[in-house]
Structures are given as structure tokens and as C-alpha cells.
Chain A
Amino acid sequence: MKIAVASGKGGTGKTTVASSLVSVWNAPVIAMDLDVEEPNLHLFLKPEFTGSRIARMEIPEVDQSLCTLCGKCSDLCQFKAISLMGEILMTFPEMCHGCGGCIAICAEKALRPSYRELGEISWGQAGKTDFIMGRLRIGEAMSPPLMREVKKKLNEMQLDAPKDVITDAPPGVSCPAINAVMDSDVIVLVTEPTPFGVYDMKLAHEAFTPMNKPMGVVVNRAGLGNSEIYDYCSAKNLEILAEIPYERSIAEAYASGVIISESSDKMKQLFLELAEKIQQKAGEVRRG
């Protein structure tokens, strides 16, 4: 079973929910941080890292001596990453999406694969939990290619004995967020009952609906704002799976790096019930 914790708006509590779910999960689980731009899950799960590798993406390198300046590669490239400048074929590595089209179309074999560093993938153990994350290189614009590499590593980890996966997704509703949730079985939307929270959750709900996956909502900071979120969820038949109350003590626990489900018995109970509801949503009810 794969669970993605997503949100639309940033800072609603994705990492709080993901880390707490991992902590109470009653089956072998892998915690995966796909917010590669700003990964935070490790700050709470505090894994011991056992390995890492640099993730790279293929980009073209030009051998000017073989290039006939035919321009087929630059005509094909949709991202302005390769371009004829007078008598020289120039590449713009940061623009390249790694589609491989230019290398494939070059009859003279004047282009060969080189690589751009995307960032780092690291993995380890947080207690019994397997942990994996990606960390985008500062200055790298594209996060989906690195996310794909993290998922490749996840598949390697899943080869021996498949485990459940809990994914901490990036905020937003565009390509990085879609990439993070597209392989999951259930999407948990974390929101807060404020105008910003509601607006962005609607966007996320709209963006994820075409994927046809079971979705449920966790309302964080319940009691803070107004009731609009509840009206929306009831109108759209979106189940509210849990409500985390707005309490300064919870905010302070989070600020000191504590996993919220481990901050009190009440919170532990809340997340145990949430985990059970998510498992029901996935149609795989387990015995406690």
C-alpha cells in the first residue's frame, strides 16, 4: 500500500502527518521524502543514513569535429537547450530535460551522452522504518527528474520484500506534486481551516481527481479559522479522516523537532485512528 501525503498550500502539516503516520504504522513501512527541494521528513524521523548516491540526468555533449551544422537537433529540442550559433553548436545544460532526442536524431554521432548532477539520494533506517529521500542540488531548477531517481531507488528497496510506503509530497499542485502522488494508492490531503488553506486544497483536489485515487482530508490547526473547509468537504463528498486541534503546545512540540504522535497519548490515539482509516480507504483493512 502506498500513501501520499500532499497539500496544495505549503506549511499545512504534511511532514507532521507523514512522520506521525510512520511512527504509528502497524506494518513494515518505507518513509519516502519526495519534497526534494525542501526535504524535512528526516528532521523528525532522524534516520541513520546507510548509503547515498549522486543522481544524474543525461544531457548532450557536442563533438564539434563531427557536427555538420544540419540543425536537426536544435529543431527538435523543445527546451532551447541546444542551438546553432553561427558555425558552432551550443548546448545549455541547465535547460535540458534529458529527453535524449538530440542524441537519437544526430546521424553523424556528433552528440554523445554527458551528465548533469540533479542532487543526492540518501537512505537509511529510522528504527524499524526504512527511509529514503532526495535532495535537489542548489541551483537545479527541475525536481521531477530527481524524484524519478528516488522512486527508482525505492523500487530497488522493494525488490526483496515489498513494504508499505508513506510519501511526504512537495507543496503545490503542479508537476512536482503530481509526480509525487501519481504512483500512490491513497492520497491524504493535509489542510488548515483558513481561506488560504481552503483555496489551495480545492486546487489540489481538482488536480488529483483525474487520477481516480481514494482521497481523504486531514484538517490541521482545527479551530483556528472558519468552517468553509467543512462545507467544501461535505459538498464534494471528501471524507475528513482526522482533525488535529489548534494548540500552541502542538506548534511548540513541532518547533522542537518532536513527532506529534509521540508528543501525547491523545495525539498517538488520533494518528492510530487516522492510520486505520487510511488503510480502510485503501481497501486493505489490517488487524491491529
Chain B
Amino acid sequence: MDEILIISGKGGTGKTSLTAAFAHLAKNHVICDLDVDAPDMHLILKPENSQSHDFISGHEAVIVEEKCESCGTCLDMCRYDAVKNEGDRYFIDPLKCEGCKVCVEFCPAEAIDFPDRFCGRWFISDTRFGPMIHAQLFPGEENSGLLVSLLRKKAKEMAEEKGLELILSDGTPGIGCPVIASLSGVSLAVIVTEPTPSGRHDLERVAELCGHFKIPAGIIINKSDLNEKEAAAIEKFAADKGLVIFGKLPHDPTITKAMINQQTITEYADNEFTRELEGIWKKILQSVTSR
């Protein structure tokens, strides 16, 4: 079973629109949206018959006012600046609490509760292109890396159970926790970039991350006609690092029209963009199967 992850470093380069199009072009696959923080692929794929599951992960500290003796131990020991006080009244800012339990453990009055944190929901759904695993972290919540790992496990189980050969995943921008959790052990990372200073800078960092974890990676240059100098610099970077360029796509507002129509670009438009994308998908599959 192969796992292909689409990432970008920089946000807004077209990851999700392209992943949705690949979901249309691929066969015998599970679709996975690993952007659990700001997921968007469901807006195009319109998942149905979703089974919903709670994602409970970690804990948060809550001071019980009646038991608190206002000694200030929690305030002194918290490394996250999460404990606040107004005079003798102590309380914890849930946005800053990391759930480390230090205040709970060291409170001499045993006045701090440590309930589970209900961080979000995850779903198994049907789409017109096959089964889809996705999630929504509640706004402001944490533990996205653990939720990403959980989704990947569920996607693997589903692929095995249904005899499907491919997991196609949409990733998160950045190079931190959720990206690292998405990346470990995938067959191929496809990096979608754009020829802008930010696009190239962020591509270089995410490509280095793939190298760090020894994950094979290739590049798609989206909006490639925006700046030819930057596009050439990206091609040179790829050549220097031995990264394959799967293809170049033009800056095309049709992709937004498709999005508004809740369709992939490959469903919406029979144009050059679509044909280019079909070629790119073939190359991606060849790259995975020829390993």
C-alpha cells in the first residue's frame, strides 16, 4: 500500500485544490484530509454518510476555587504563564495550559482538577471518489499531531479492510507538529509551490524537512507564470537537490470557479490545466510504483 502526501510549506499554493483533483483522477484509494486545523477538502468532495467520533486527547488543569488556598505554588511552577491571579483568586487560562499536570501534582491543597480535553471530531465518510477520512479540531485546540496520526492509522485500516492500494492525503502548511506527524513513513511527498519569494523560501524548508526524515519528495510549481525568475530558481533548487519536478501549472482563476461549483478542476474544466494535471498525476504514480 502506498501513501502519497501533498504538502507545501507555504499556505495557499493550491495543495487542497490539487489533492481534490488527484482524488478524482486516482483509483482504488482512500482520501485523507490531514489538515485537521483548517480543513477545506470537504468543501469540494462533499462527504456523506459520515460516522462521527470524538477526539479526546490530553487534559487541562482547572483550579477548584473552594479548595484553593492561594499559596501561589501553581503560578510559580507553571512554565507556560497559564496561571493567573487577581488578588487571592487563582485561575488557569485554558488557551495557555499545556496539560503538563505540574500544577496538579504540586498543589499542596490538591485543589486542581485535571479533566480530559475534548479537542475535536473525526469522521469516516463516503465521497463520489471513494471513502474519506477527515477531522475537525475545535478552534483553538491543540494536539493536532496526535489527531493526524490517528487519521493515518484509520486510513490504513480502511485501505487494508477494503483492499485499496493507495492513501492520498492533503497536508498542512508549515513544517511543525502536524506536518511531521503526516510525513513519517509516507511513500512520497508532493510539494506544491509557487514562484514567489515566500513560495521558494518555504519550499526549501519543507524539502529539507523531507530530507531530514528521508522521505522521497517531488515538486509541482503552481501559478508558474507569475514570475519566471522565481520559477527558474525553483527549478535550479530542485536540480541541485535531486528533486523531481512533476510539472508546472499556470496561474488560472478557473480553479476558484471550480471550487465555488464544489467541483475539482478536472471535473469542471476540460482545458489545458486539466490535461497538464492528468500528466502530473501519471508521473506521480510512476514515481511511486518505480521505487
Residues of A within 8 A of B266 (CB): none
The yes or no answer to B209 lying at the interface (CB within 8 A) is: yes
The yes or no answer to A225 lying at the interface (CB within 8 A) is: yes
Q: How many residues of B contact A (CB 8 A)?
A: 66
Minimum CB–CB distance from B99 to chain A (whole Å) comes to 6
- B window 161-213: CB within 8 A of A: 172-177, 179-181, 194-198, 201-202, 205-206, 208-209, 212-213
Residues of A within 8 A of B181 (CB): 141
The yes or no answer to B9 lying at the interface (CB within 8 A) is: yes
The yes or no answer to A263 lying at the interface (CB within 8 A) is: no
Q: How many residues of A contact B (CB 8 A)?
A: 63
A172 to B173, Cβ gap below 8 A?
Answer: yes
Residues of A within 8 A of B139 (CB): 173, 203-204, 206-207
Minimum CB–CB distance from A251 to chain B (whole Å) comes to 6
Query: CA of A35 to CA of B202 in the docked complex: distance in angstroms?
Result: 11
B102 to A257, Cβ gap below 8 A?
Answer: no
A40 to B10, Cβ gap below 8 A?
Answer: yes
Give 1 or 0 for each of B23-54: 1 = CB within 8 Å of chain A CB. 00000000000000110100100000000000
The yes or no answer to B100 lying at the interface (CB within 8 A) is: yes
The yes or no answer to A27 lying at the interface (CB within 8 A) is: no
Residues of B within 8 A of A71 (CB): none
A78 to B40, Cβ gap below 8 A?
Answer: no
The yes or no answer to A127 lying at the interface (CB within 8 A) is: no
- B window 70-105: CB within 8 A of A: 77, 79-81, 95-96, 98-102, 105
B58 to A141, Cβ gap below 8 A?
Answer: no
B227 to A255, Cβ gap below 8 A?
Answer: yes
Given contacts A9-B40, A257-B197, contact A171 B100 (CB under 8 A): no
Query: CA of A207 to CA of B144 in the docked complex: distance in angstroms?
Result: 15
Residues of A within 8 A of B38 (CB): 8-10, 171-173, 199-200, 203-204
A182 to B96, Cβ gap below 8 A?
Answer: yes
A252 to B226, Cβ gap below 8 A?
Answer: yes
Query: CA of A141 to CA of B226 in the docked complex: distance in angstroms?
Result: 32
Q: Which of A97, A143, A174 has the most CB of B within 10 A?
A: A174
Give 1 or 0 for each of A182-200: 1 = CB within 8 Å of chain B CB. 1000000000001110011
Minimum CB–CB distance from A161 to chain B (whole Å) comes to 24
Q: State which of A11, A98, A136 has its C-beta within 8 Å of the C-beta of B13.
A: A11
Q: State which of A98, A207, A210 has its C-beta within 8 Å of the C-beta of B79.
A: A98
Give 1 or 0 for each of A21-40: 1 = CB within 8 Å of chain B CB. 00000000000000101101
Query: CA of A176 to CA of B95 in the docked complex: distance in angstroms?
Result: 11
Q: Which residue of B lies closest to A173 (CB)?
A: B139
A76 to B43, Cβ gap below 8 A?
Answer: no
Residues of B within 8 A of A211 (CB): 95
Query: CA of A112 to CA of B99 in the docked complex: distance in angstroms?
Result: 22
Interface on B for A, CB 8 Å cutoff? 8-13, 16, 37-38, 40, 43, 58-59, 77, 79-81, 95-96, 98-102, 105-106, 137, 139-142, 144-145, 172-177, 179-181, 194-198, 201-202, 205-206, 208-209, 212-213, 223, 226-227, 229-230, 251, 253, 256, 259-260, 262
Interface on A for B, CB 8 Å cutoff? 7-12, 15, 35, 37-38, 40, 43-44, 76, 78-79, 97-101, 104-105, 136, 138-143, 148, 170-176, 178, 182, 194-196, 199-200, 203-204, 206-208, 210-211, 224-226, 246, 248, 251-252, 254-257
19 additional A-B pairs beyond A44-B197, A171-B11, beta carbons within 8 Å, are A11-B12, A37-B205, A38-B174, A38-B202, A38-B206, A40-B197, A40-B198, A138-B209, A139-B209, A142-B176, A175-B140, A175-B141, A178-B140, A195-B259, A199-B40, A204-B38, A251-B251, A252-B227, A254-B196
